Chains A and B, each alone.
Chain A
Amino acid sequence: MCGTRQSLGSAGVCDTVSLAVGNARVVTMVSPLEPRQGRQDDGRTHARPARPLDAHVLRTLSLDLIGRPPFAVEVEEWSGKPVQAFLDTVLGSQEFWEHWYEEQLYYFLLIDNFRPATDSTRTIPAKLVEGRMSVRDALHRVALSSSFNLRNPGADTFVTVVMEQVVGLTVQKHKAELEIGKRVYDGHNGLFLGSFGENQSDVVRIAIESKAAARAFTAREFVRMTHREAPKKELAAWTRKLHKDPHTFIEVVREWLLSEAYEARLAHPVPLANRLFVRAVFVDLLGRLPEPAEAEPLRNALDGLSDSRPLRSVLVRLLLDSGSVPIPEKNSIRDVTEWVAGLFPRFLGREATPEELKAFVLAFGEPECRPKTILYAILSNAEYHTF
């Protein structure tokens, strides 16, 4: 697997870590919470590459691209390496496409009982990796799925959702088009969005192939990656490119991630979505991704609160108390300062300030403070819930 595009790891890490893809269990031999042993040094002098990956950039990029923070071994592996090399490895990887696919399903609210479960949809990420499918083909497949149909029952709802979600139109401003679309959905001939159609699948095809859909897709993907609106001029250019050849998506995303917009995004943390929080807390505490049977109920529960922090706090405490988190014994931590200092970049993507370090180390010395107390304080803090 090392050297392939399936994980962030590379050759030297493979004997210590086995990184599966997507929702499969990830086994890591390096506990994310064990005291740091010091980085292996091969004795060579390495020139510091331009735009290197530090803890913050690595954590942010990982969450944006593959929906999880890096595993401990990946932090070791990638720290100080060029961003470009990281992008070369991650963009277009199986894990990248699986995350992209999950985000599309969430966008269409095809979750829980409405999650597509046929082979033709399950294989979408793999086909994207192999280049046998473009992003447009993938969205087409999703919108043709029985799940999409069930989620959006009836002509009015179905055509409305296609127009709104796929094409980016405000239906109330295009009532005539909606009526035509509903007629086409019901099997009548009609000119829907400027193209001829005569059935429900034509409604989907016409919408997906429209330039407006390419624009809507590009705009929302830009927002998803950079957490800001796309500049109009550039959006038009990216739309043209993606409309002409949707296989260029990775190229376009790479351009976004190396742009000033992404630099600005890195400078301004954004709230961590519930679905990412669930994955993050599992990776950070358990060293593995949650199983779907764990992730979906947890995400749903968190999504059920306008302010999910109280429940997030409950979940952090629950995991810490569960006995499943490899928390070192207090007396096994010989260098407290080093252990505490290592937690900040790991969980918050930054170094501790001298004041924070002092406060934590002092507190650690008190008999009632456990390593768990330190972890709970950090992971229940507002900063952990941004990235």
Chain B
Amino acid sequence: MNPSETSRRTFLKTAAITGGALVGTGLVPGLSPLAFARGPRSPLRDDRKTKHIVLIAFAGGVRTKETFGMPANVPNLTAMADEGVLFPRVRTANLGHFGASMSIFTGISEPRGIRENSRGPDPTLFEYLRKDLGLPQSDVWITTSGGAQQVNYSYGLHADYGPKYGANTLDGDGIFNKEFQEVLEAYGMPKPMGEGEKEILDRLRGSLGAGDEESAREAEALARVEQYILDELTRGTSDITGAGAADAKALRLARNLLSIFKPRVVGVVLQNADIAHGSFNGYMEVIRRNDAAVGELWNAVKDDAELADSTAFIILPEFGRDADLNARRGLDHGDGSDDLNYVSCVAWGPDFKRGAVVRDVVRTIDVTPTICDLLGASARHSRGGRMPGLYA
């Protein structure tokens, strides 16, 4: 029996026995240590300090006017910019929320339907990183707030990439909501399984599936995610309510993922700012709340010995909003103004300049090639370039 097989079996057995039991009794304050188990980390660039990256699509349509134009509104983003690099002229493409956010993750501006719910044709940042750096799925995560559609950011349909290089995706509001919790509670939590039964189960599953090494690795990864979900369900994320709750959950999950798995990459896609169509005040509230949650995430990183000096943040909206209020005293996004077409991006991390403002025009599609370069991968199909003036 080879070591990886031993490890897998041990993990599966113990996770089934201990994790389920602890969760079932509600005694788990955090994850079972086994859920953190991971193999050796893939080597990144020797000449960079950055080993982890948090990319936040501060999406839903957010103007610079209400962020860096009103520093009091976003104290955390402002503080981050003071310690990092601010790009106040980031050119966006008005492709609808879905397409515009997608372009951040692919480095390609291509039209996507606003309500289109399908994979894009191009590889995403996550696929580039996983393929080029040999990262396991547990090292690459994306948390979202916009439901089914945003799961498509995980991977595209490019023949050289695709699902085997995709990111783990968790939609905060989809899983961690009261309704889902109530359904689970109505049926009770899964009961722990005895060791003997678990062995039989593994054997039965093996007799149905391909039973090869790849299937075994996949089973291990799936079991780890299954365990994480079980534990996260007991953690109180479902209790977050109010304006922008979905965004807050996505950021909370990102924070938990970072502190637990310490993944190489965490993408976060926010969406609640789009409330601006009908409520300017609601939009402002979402921005303030999201800034506060970003601050919590940032502090969690700075307080973590492993992450503090090795983690970079890049944060930007997918596009802005119209220059003027609409008839409902809200803000749409379709007037072609600079308020819509240009947003601000903040970058903070150990390899970046401190307190710099880069006034050159960059593009949202430059983010993916920049991150790939930072970690040592190549966004070879991207149409963006490396962001200038970033490195110290």
Q: Which residues of A contact B172 (CB under 8 A)?
A: 304
- In the assembled complex, B247 has its CB within 8 A of some CB on chain A: no
Encode contact with A along B168-200: 1 for CB under 8 Å, 0 otherwise.
Answer: 111111110101101110111111001011001
A297 contacts B95, C-beta separation under 8 Å:
no
Known: A156-B334, A294-B183, A381-B205. A366 touches B200 (CB 8 A): yes
B204 near A164: Cβ-Cβ < 8 Å: no
Question: A55-63, A115-123, A310-318, A326-334: which lies at the B interface?
Answer: A310-318
Docked-complex contact B113 and A306, CB < 8 angstroms: no
Q: What range describes how many residues of A lie at the interface?
A: 35 or more
Among the stretches A32-40, A83-91, A147-155, the one at the interface with B is A147-155
- A294: B residues at CB distance < 8 A: 183, 186
Decide: A374 and B114 in contact? CB cutoff 8 A: no
A42 at the interface (CB under 8 A from B): no
Return the chain A residue nearest B194 by Cβ.
A368
Residues from chain B with Cβ under 8 Å of A137 in the complex = none
Closest to B277 in A: A153
Question: Considering the chains assembled together, what is the distance between the CA atoms of A324 and B172 in angstroms?
Answer: 28
CA distance A380 to B226 in the complex (A): 12
CB distance B222 to A310 under 8 Å?
yes
Q: Flag if B229 contacts A297 (CB, 8 Å).
A: no
Give chain B nearest CB distance to A330 CB in angstroms.
12
Selected contact of B155 from candidates A306, A321, A369, CB within 8 Å = A306
Q: Which A-chain residue is minimally distant from B190 (CB atoms)?
A: A317
Q: Which residues of chain A are near B170, meaning CB under 8 Å?
A: 304-305
User: Which residue of the partner chain, among B96, B187, B200, B277, contacts A160 with CB atoms under 8 Å?
Assistant: B96
- CA separation between A248 and B184, bound complex, in Å? 43
A303–B174 alpha-carbon span in the complex (Å)? 7
Chain B, interface size category, equals 35 or more
A377 B230 Cβ-Cβ under 8 A: no
Interface hits, B153-169 → A, CB 8 Å: 154-155, 163, 166-169
Does any Cβ of B come within 8 Å of A373's Cβ?
A: yes
Q: Which A residues lie at the B interface, using CB under 8 A?
A: 107-109, 111-112, 151-157, 160-161, 164-165, 170-173, 182, 293-294, 296-298, 300-307, 309-311, 313-314, 317-319, 321-324, 355-356, 359-360, 363, 366-370, 373-374, 376-378, 380-383
23 A-B contact pairs sorted by A residue (CB < 8 Å):
A111-B148, A153-B277, A156-B334, A157-B96, A164-B113, A293-B179, A298-B183, A300-B177, A303-B151, A304-B144, A304-B169, A305-B151, A305-B175, A307-B225, A309-B222, A311-B175, A318-B184, A366-B196, A368-B197, A369-B197, A376-B201, A381-B208, A381-B209
Nearest 10 CB-CB pairings of A with B: A304-B174, A156-B334, A304-B171, A306-B154, A306-B169, A377-B204, A368-B196, A310-B226, A303-B148, A153-B277
